[in-house]
Amino acid sequence: MPSIANAARTMLEQTIIPFWKALRDDEYGGYYGLMDYDLCVNRQAEKGCILNSRILWFFSEAAILTGREDLCREADHAYTFLTSRCWDWTNGGVYWSVTYDGKPLDTTKHTYNQAFAIYALSAYYRLTENPDALSRAWELFELVEHHCTDDEGYLEAFTVDWQSAPNDKLSENGVLAARTMNTLLHVFEGYAGLYQANGAPVVKQAMGHILALYREKIYDPTTHRLRVFFDEHYHSLIDLHSYGHDIECSWLIDWGCELMNDPALAAEIHTIDHALANKIYQTAYRNHSLATECDRGVVDTDRVWWVQAEAVLGFVNQWQKHPEETKYRDAAADIYQYICRVMVDKRPGSEWFWSVDKHGTPHRKPIAEPWKCPYHNGRMCLELMRRNPDVIV
């Protein structure tokens, strides 16, 4: 039986990388924005800037880890599109989306979107040492700190010229949130990527500020879960337990905190993250997989691609930190096997299904679109290869 790291390498090399390379648009740049359930590519679909940032991040990190020159060329292609077509040269920042031929389409400036561009540009800089990439990441960091913050924390959505706008893009479940856990998580992630690239003290300081919000506003120490949607004063708007985000945070926040080289802070944060992962293990890990969320007491029984990928990493992270708790190792192996059986689309030219129902039947959702990308499942493979945990699948 293979190790989970070797199995992940096979999945990366035989499924995920070939799929996304095949979506490269050599006529207009970037990567095609939509492949439907029937594996038909819409070459004139909008191109989400988050999608293209995540593709840039993925190919950059995959090239760093594997040393493959073809992946460096993919990263170059993604970088050119992001910086030439998704970039607002007048007001600064990255658009929400562009047309298939690279014209501004949705010019919303969202903090979440800027964060992923920082993450991607920082990874590309680590791959290439291209000073322009670091300069652009730094420019976005300064824009976020200037336009997207107030005295209480990080704000969400803005017009093209950085005026406040409703946060409809990152609000769900019937609420319109002024602040979200999801955006704060990925700003921290983007900043962690930038700090990994340049080690600037001001970035570390901003990361520390976000971790304070994480401890004091986002994490609920009574229920051991994260609050999700907030008003402008961080009052929670809904009783929503996002299982996927909690397990993602449990390892991703750990990773970023460890970069900061502050053992006392890392220990404090890990205590929270361990409690998050344990709560998810007890509450959401059922039938070899992870449920998505619980909205006001009602559990969504669908299984979503990104939630399963993050569950594997979350449980591997906890087992590596607590090797005596073998339940996490066993859960990671179990969910990985579920992914291979159920989530991976075995049709030639495909990748993973978006989601399946509780019986494992796929929903007819796109295989690639502005939110369906190689970020979660690609990162799962890369991280498992880096960590090489003693897990057999």
Give the Cβ contact number of residue 297 at 10 Å. 7
Q: How many domains in the chain? A: 1
Those residues of the chain that have pLDDT short of 50 are none
Q: Is residue 33 part of a domain?
A: yes
The predicted model scores a pTM of: 0.98
Q: Give the span between the Cα atoms of 5 and 393, in whole angstroms.
A: 9
Containing structural domain, residue 158: 4-387
Is residue 46 one of the residues assigned to a domain?
yes
Q: What pLDDT, on a 0 to 100 scale, did the predictor assign at position 1?
A: 81
Strands 104-106, 225-226: pairing is unpaired
Give per-residue pLDDT as tens, 174-210: 999 999 999 999 999 999 999 999 999 999 999 999 9
What is the domain-level CATH number for residue 91? Answer: 1.50.10.10
Judge whether 393 lies within some domain: no
Domain-embedded: residue 111: yes
Query: What is the per-residue pLDDT for 209?
Result: 98
Q: Is residue 350 part of a domain?
A: yes
Domain presence at residue 392: no
The amino acid sitting at 351 is E
Let me know if residue 178 belongs to a domain: yes
